[in-house]
Structure 1
């Protein structure tokens, strides 16, 4: 079964009722109905009040609902945040496209653009270098942030407190080296990443160099990379040249987003 197939009776086994109810609750709110009581939500779902308690509590904790008074709710700021983040990411891709294509042409290496969604790095654009052994990560790919160069650049924009909240329930020891195994280790890595302004990450057959994209407030809103086969990027002189080109590209994109000075 693919995401586009019509569900069959057998496929209903794969549905997650709690997730369905959670999304249904968020969809109940509109301009005409800006707030609903817990009783109204339960009645519309056709379930008991106790059946939705954990779902409503979770949505409130995540910021998708906000509690009003004792027993009523409205949409929380996270709904708007996610919506604007998606729209902004499309504008960001449009802005970055020409810069990344030019960077690919100058270096003959693949370039990628990603944004952060929770603890994942989401790839939203790629400038693919059409040569043998090129690194080609499809648009829409999600990779845990702490495992990649771009992901670490995305995390570098968070304060220590924000990072702690983000990873308070996330296990890091299930990933192979050189990914950090603990939250303190991740903190140490990101502190060095912020000071340096870029990250180099080696895997089995390729190397990636990443830098952050900043908006008009100076916030990290995205990251870009240059990635290629290890044989091409093995020379320190070559890596330094690629790093300079990458950071110049990141600064140019940041300026178009309103950043006042290079990051």
Structure 2
């Protein structure tokens, strides 16, 4: 049985064009970076005409690109998707033990997120098993400008970047305390960037978030501590939690190659 074969009972569920397209992408490797249409047809034991529409679709989607009249290589979309996945996976693997330890020290829930367009995408949670806790499932997407994690992620952008990102989004469609205009958002993120952390209250809970930096010093992810207001209210409690959060973020960033001294 080859890598693309499935048990006979499953053959009715196959999508032949999709199967063939993925098989074409699998033909490329470190030793064979460029393949002609005839090479692909020969490997798959089909005619070039049978591959033409599939190859053209892969080109249009950016998964293949032409390097000659009838020669192709893997396109930028493969690279983008692959590195995005690996980067997210690396951050989760590095952050997981640190966030679990932070949860155990504070008895508060911790979350890790990255930015996708204007959303904060939750990649990991260290859930605190207490009666009143904040528990946002992995895979949840929330608007960046309305959450502590999201606002930290937006600090990676300057005013021009924020303007470009939000030029087609109506901020006044979102309820307060989220900013209602682009200038208000830009001013808020500028203060967040200078402070290095964000506190946000909603629905009887409080979240404190800060950024994770990569080897270039860029904010690539954010982590938070979140819990009921009764636990997190007060300057002493917040200072204690903020110190623990900063220590956790520094440990994760260091493992990603960030050096504060550099």
TM-score w.r.t. the length of structure 1 is 0.73
Unpaired stretches in structure 1, ≥5 consecutive residues: 1-24, 46-51
Q: How far apart in 2 are the matches of 1:125 and 1:115?
A: 10
- How far the C-alpha of 1:198 sits from its partner, in A, is 0.1
Cα distance in 1 between the residues matched to 2:144 and 2:35: 35
Are 2:223 and 1:214 aligned? Answer: no
- The CA distance in 2 between the partners of 1:158 and 1:112, in whole Å, is 21
Classify 1:82/1:149 alpha carbon distance in 2 versus 1 (closer, same or farther; 3 Å): farther
The equivalences for 1:101-116 within 5 A come to 101-116=100-115
| Corresponding residue SS for 2:253 | helix
Instruction: Look up the match of 2:43.
Output: none
Displacement after TM superposition at 1:82 (Å): 3.6
Indicate yes or no: 2:154 matched with 1:155: yes
| Shift of residue 28, structure 1, vs aligned partner | 8.7
**Correspondence for 1:227:** 226
Give the direction of change, closer, same or farther, for the CA distance of 1:222–1:168 in structure 2 (3 Å limit). same
Q: Is the 8 A contact 1:108 1:129 kept in 2?
A: yes
**Which contiguous aligned blocks of 4+ residues in structure 1 show a shift greater than 4 angstroms?**
25-36, 64-68, 73-79
- CA shift in 2, pair 1:172/1:83, >3 Å: farther
Query: How big is the alpha-carbon RMSD for the aligned residues of Structure 1 and Structure 2?
Result: 3.6
| Alpha-carbon distance, 1:248 to partner | 1.1
Following superposition of structure 1 onto structure 2, how do residues 1-263 of structure 1 map, counting pairs within 5 Å? 31=28, 44=53, 77=76, 80-261=79-260
Distance between the aligned counterparts of 1:161 and 1:259, measured in 2?
Answer: 25
Once the two structures are TM-superposed, the CA of residue 91 in structure 1 deviates from its matched residue by: 1.3
Report which stretch shifted further, 154-163 or 75-84: 75-84
In structure 2, distance between residues paired with 1:234 and 1:93: 29
Where does the alignment leave 5 or more consecutive residues of structure 2 unmatched? 1-20, 38-48
Q: TM-score, length-normalised on structure 2?
A: 0.73
